[in-house]
Amino acid sequence: MSISAMTSPYSSSKRAKMAAGQPISALMTQALENADLLSLAAGFVDEATLPTTVVRQACAEIMADQRAARAALQYGSTPGIPKLRSMLLERFLGEQSVPVANAPSVDQVVVTAGSNQLLHLIVESLLDPGDIVLCTEPTYFVFLGILANVGGRGQGVATDEHGMIPDSLDEQLKRIDAAGELGHVKAIYLVPYFDNPQGITTTPDRLARIVEIAKRWSIKHKIHVIADEAYRELRYEGPDYPSTRCYDEDGDTVIVAGTFSKSFSPGIRVGWGVLPSHLVDPVCEQKGNIDFGSPNFSQAIMTYVLEQGQFDDHVDGLLAGYAPKLQAMLDSADEFFGPIEGVTWTRPSGGLYIWARMPTGLDTGPEGPLFRRAIQEGMLYVPGQYCFPGEGEPVQLNTMRLSFGVQTIARIRQGMQALSRAICEAQAAGD
Amino acid sequence: MSISAMTSPYSSSKRAKMAAGQPISALMTQALENADLLSLAAGFVDEATLPTTVVRQACAEIMADQRAARAALQYGSTPGIPKLRSMLLERFLGEQSVPVANAPSVDQVVVTAGSNQLLHLIVESLLDPGDIVLCTEPTYFVFLGILANVGGRGQGVATDEHGMIPDSLDEQLKRIDAAGELGHVKAIYLVPYFDNPQGITTTPDRLARIVEIAKRWSIKHKIHVIADEAYRELRYEGPDYPSTRCYDEDGDTVIVAGTFSKSFSPGIRVGWGVLPSHLVDPVCEQKGNIDFGSPNFSQAIMTYVLEQGQFDDHVDGLLAGYAPKLQAMLDSADEFFGPIEGVTWTRPSGGLYIWARMPTGLDTGPEGPLFRRAIQEGMLYVPGQYCFPGEGEPVQLNTMRLSFGVQTIARIRQGMQALSRAICEAQAAGD
């Protein structure tokens, strides 16, 4: 073939240039491919808790009913199956211990392929390149990838064990305003319940203040609050706080993202958003252009499972499985990290993760002295640096996320012990 | 709540402003909500052909095997289940009647939520705002929405019953180059088999020439050819031509998009791409940020169905169901349109659509005299105007797409008769 221009270069879009691979993808692949490596990295759910019986029954029932079977296998509408959306709304409203003012209608519930897609659609609808989202710090690294993909900027806000610190948020907005950048701030992002990566929960008084601050600083335009409630169901102890949406009396500021990926099955991959009404069309229009609607079959399964009341039973089983794993991780941390000077960690009451801080100066990154030693010792963690936005509060290189979802209690202990050996070796080597 | 900035306006991204709703969504909703309206509009597949038995069995088998069940309900990797991808590749290579030079590897196969998502990911990876894709005219309207969403421009190329006309494509590129816009041309888009909306097939000699032209004009950068092979399996008569990929000896120019939506089930929603190797990372990185991988459960079902050899049997059944429907639509066109001066239509040998041309001057659009009369007569069609890119060849306002997929043979005839009455009324009224 003698085509003259055969060697002409591939010209990628600006957006493709901005998209970095999700660092976690590489870690997940590493974990999937190396069965011997004891991974406390991936946020996979516990295989043993996956609802095989419930889904088998749901599929059998749906497929046995000719009409339901055909509907499940046919195209659906972009926002999702109406029955599913109304049940999601009913659950959402029913979960709150305080009344939801300006209660959303079913039109404001949109079903997506996991909550990640909802986050993508929101970011796509709100941000132009150069725009800013203020995030808890550390924050969910996949969200940072979503931001980077559209040329958005994540800016970390100081965070303590009760979540994003409202006074720091307010101060930061003041500084941004003084720098003439307030017009770029489009949203505030937080994971209020048992967050990723720290496992911490934002207290209701803080949620109320964060919403108030977002509204007060909505001077040039509306600053939304994105409340990513992916882990709300995974509560092992303590009270269930109301959703951030409950503190948005006008109903025009808070976006709630939810998902069944953690509480039921990531392979079914049904997430949803409860949106301010002005965002419904933009989100659905984006979605129509991206995938023309999420798989109807997955939605039909979740509809059946919710209708039959099997979801709550499943969550009860999950909690019974995960609670002792969290305890095992905390016990192991006490046992193996406790004796090491300068190592601290969070003590979550839900979720799938704890966040550990190594002695100052010990870099946990993939090129640092600890990471390769941990792999040599047979375990894998998520380096904390992936969880820090590019701006705002400084990156803490001595941090890591540890997940207790996948491994057995014995292996959690083994992994934590292996990690403690790696820490001691790295400190001893002093490199 | 006395928040001062309560009324601050919502500021949407430039991209959200560019995204128009898919016109077809409104039509689909209209059809779904009005069961009495006889729709020859929606590209739904025939409910009666949906693989309820096959999927029931697949679900039962997968869920009965603990290991398979858990894998299906767990997270997967962004490009999709490796076994599924290797079977897709094997099928693709096996289908061609000419050898595939520079045969792609399994790494170049990426699974998506329908082929629409693949088209979106490609457009996202290649186009910046203002960039151009040259399209057959008329073209698949959802693709035009995908283009608009990223600020891309569709430009129609003259097309006849054998597909896009290579000489016209070459001429158009010459004009674009002379206007200094060649740097904006990023791709050529076509639906080679039984296309949407016309039902026409692009002949192999044209495919070869189109690929050659794309390579020859790849002066400033690579101009890709996007071959959307969504309807390839729905061939009721005539030979199966080789894929456009077979004419790309370097393997660096042609992108193939495939899907099981039409040939199996749109509710399962598994599509795929066979990509030049330089596009794999950009596409997967975009996808990682959009949905972190398509539902594993849907992929597991398709993997099982292909493994068990049930897919080809299902397609055989589909063909037996659709072929007489196409015949019924063509017979009805002969019977009811034949006597009306100036009405012409395509005679496809596959796919789900025919394309009809009304007498010159008869506007088929939603605001025109025919559309509302057709609804009054009880039927719905897709106005042709949605299928014309904003640039290039002029819009033909007197055209429409008619789909024979959903309705029974009796109702196809009834719908065509109703449409013929509406045409005669509109002509008689002369408005």
What are the tens digits of pLDDT across the range B392-409?
Answer: 989 999 999 999 999 999
A30 interfacial to chain B (CB closer than 8 Å): no
Distance from CA of B26 to the nearest CA of A (A): 10
Residue pLDDT, tens place only, B133-173 = 999 999 999 999 999 999 999 999 999 999 999 999 999 99
3-state secondary structure of B247: helix
B278 interfacial to chain A (CB closer than 8 Å): yes
Interface size between A and B, measured as CB pairs under 8 A: 332
What pLDDT score does A293 carry?
87
Cβ pair B298:A295 closer than 8 A: yes
Residues of B whose CB is below 8 A from A288: 19, 21-22, 25, 145
Instruction: Please state, as a whole number, how many other Cβ atoms lie within 10 Å of the Cβ of residue B334.
Output: 13
Q: In terms of CA atoms, which chain B residue is nearest residue A79?
A: B25
Using CA atoms, how far apart are residues A301 and A298, in angstroms rounded to an integer?
Answer: 5
Among B residues 31-50, those touching chain A with beta carbons less than 8 Å apart: 32, 42, 44-45, 47, 50
Residues of B whose CB is below 8 A from A150: 13, 15
Chain region(s) in chain A for CATH 3.90.1150.10: 15-51+313-429
Cβ pair B282:A16 closer than 8 A: yes
A262 interfacial to chain B (CB closer than 8 Å): no
Residue pLDDT, tens place only, B103-124 = 999 999 999 999 999 999 999 9
Cβ pair B63:A64 closer than 8 A: no
Chain region(s) in chain B for CATH 3.90.1150.10: 18-51+313-429
What pLDDT score does B4 carry?
42
Judge whether residue B339 has pLDDT over 90.
yes
Number of H helices, E strands in chain A: 14, 16
Cβ pair A8:B50 closer than 8 A: no
Low-confidence stretches of chain A (pLDDT < 70) are: 1-8, 20-34, 431
Among B residues 292-331, those touching chain A with beta carbons less than 8 Å apart: 292-298, 300-301
Instruction: Give me the architecture of the B18-51+313-429 domain, per CATH.
Output: Alpha-Beta Complex (3.90)
B142 interfacial to chain A (CB closer than 8 Å): yes
A347 interfacial to chain B (CB closer than 8 Å): no
Cβ pair A8:B222 closer than 8 A: yes
Using CA atoms, how far apart are residues B83 and B381, in angstroms rounded to an integer?
Answer: 40
Nearest to B290 by CA among A185, A291, A191: A291
Among A residues 388-427, those touching chain B with beta carbons less than 8 Å apart: none
- Select the residue from A228, A283, A291 to test the B interface by mutation, using most B Cβ atoms within 10 A: A291
Amino acid type, A230:
A
- Confidence category of residue B80, pLDDT binned at 50, 70, 90: very high
Distance from CA of A428 to the nearest CA of B (A): 37
What pLDDT score does B3 carry?
42
Confirm if B159 and B137 have CB atoms less than 8 A apart: yes
What pLDDT score does B300 carry?
97
Contacts of B343 (CB under 8 A, 6+ apart): B337, B356, B357, B358, B359, B423
What pLDDT score does A2 carry?
38
Chain region(s) in chain A for CATH 3.40.640.10: 76-309
Using CA atoms, how far apart are residues B195 and B197, in angstroms rounded to an integer?
Answer: 6
Q: What is the mean pLDDT of residues B327-347?
A: 98
Q: The tokens of B298 are what?
A: 């849907």
Q: The tokens of B179 are what?
A: 């206007």
Using CA atoms, how far apart are residues B174 and B167, in angstroms rounded to an integer?
Answer: 11
Q: The tokens of B25 are what?
A: 């969504």
Cβ pair A297:B269 closer than 8 A: yes
Using CA atoms, how far apart are residues A147 and A71, in angstroms rounded to an integer?
Answer: 35
Using CA atoms, how far apart are residues B160 and B84, in angstroms rounded to an integer?
Answer: 36
Cβ pair A8:B219 closer than 8 A: yes
Residues of A whose CB is below 8 A from B25: 77-78, 288
Residue pLDDT, tens place only, B178-192 = 999 999 999 999 999
Distance from CA of B339 to the nearest CA of A (A): 36
Residues of A whose CB is below 8 A from B216: 3-5
Could you tell me the fold of the domain covering A15-51+313-429? Aspartate Aminotransferase, domain 1 (3.90.1150)
Residues of B whose CB is below 8 A from A143: none
What stretches of A217-309 show up as alpha helix (H) in DSSP? 280-290, 296-307
Q: In terms of CA atoms, which chain B residue is nearest residue A271?
A: B291
Confirm if A143 and B35 have CB atoms less than 8 A apart: no
Distance from CA of A119 to the nearest CA of B (A): 8
What pLDDT score does B5 carry?
40
- Confidence category of residue B36, pLDDT binned at 50, 70, 90: confident
Cβ pair A22:B288 closer than 8 A: yes
Among A residues 208-237, those touching chain B with beta carbons less than 8 Å apart: 212, 215-222
A279 interfacial to chain B (CB closer than 8 Å): yes
Q: The tokens of B51 are what?
A: 């693989």
Nearest to B282 by CA among B46, B155, B123, B104: B123
Q: In terms of CA atoms, which chain B residue is nearest residue A267?
A: B73
Residues of B whose CB is below 8 A from A222: 8-11
Residues of A whose CB is below 8 A from B386: none
- Confidence category of residue B430, pLDDT binned at 50, 70, 90: confident
Contacts of A125 (CB under 8 A, 6+ apart): A279, A282, A283, A286, B12, B13, B15, B16
Cβ pair B286:A142 closer than 8 A: no
Q: In terms of CA atoms, which chain A residue is nearest residue B277?
A: A10
What pLDDT score does B2 carry?
38
Using CA atoms, how far apart are residues A195 and A192, in angstroms rounded to an integer?
Answer: 6
Cβ pair A60:B56 closer than 8 A: yes
C-alpha torsion sign, points B362, B364, B365, B370: positive
Cβ pair A292:B212 closer than 8 A: no
Instruction: Give me the architecture of the B74-308 domain, per CATH.
Output: 3-Layer(aba) Sandwich (3.40)
Confirm if B137 and B188 have CB atoms less than 8 A apart: no
Using CA atoms, how far apart are residues B261 and B244, in angstroms rounded to an integer?
Answer: 20
What pLDDT score does B373 carry?
94
Residues of A whose CB is below 8 A from B76: 267
Closest CB to A297: pick one of B22, B267, B288.
Answer: B267
The CATH classification number of A76-309 equals: 3.40.640.10
Using CA atoms, how far apart are residues A167 and A188, in angstroms rounded to an integer?
Answer: 14
Confirm if B349 and B201 have CB atoms less than 8 A apart: yes
Residues of A whose CB is below 8 A from B75: 28, 42, 44-45, 261, 266-267
Distance from CA of A249 to the nearest CA of B (A): 7
B26 interfacial to chain A (CB closer than 8 Å): no
Cβ pair A291:B128 closer than 8 A: no
Chain region(s) in chain B for CATH 3.40.640.10: 74-308
Q: The tokens of A128 are what?
A: 């132009």
What pLDDT score does A6 carry?
46
What pLDDT score does B23 carry?
63
Contacts of B425 (CB under 8 A, 6+ apart): B373, B377
Residue pLDDT, tens place only, B219-272 = 989 999 999 999 999 999 999 999 999 999 999 999 999 999 999 999 999 999
Cis-peptide, bond into residue A138, ω within 30° of zero: yes
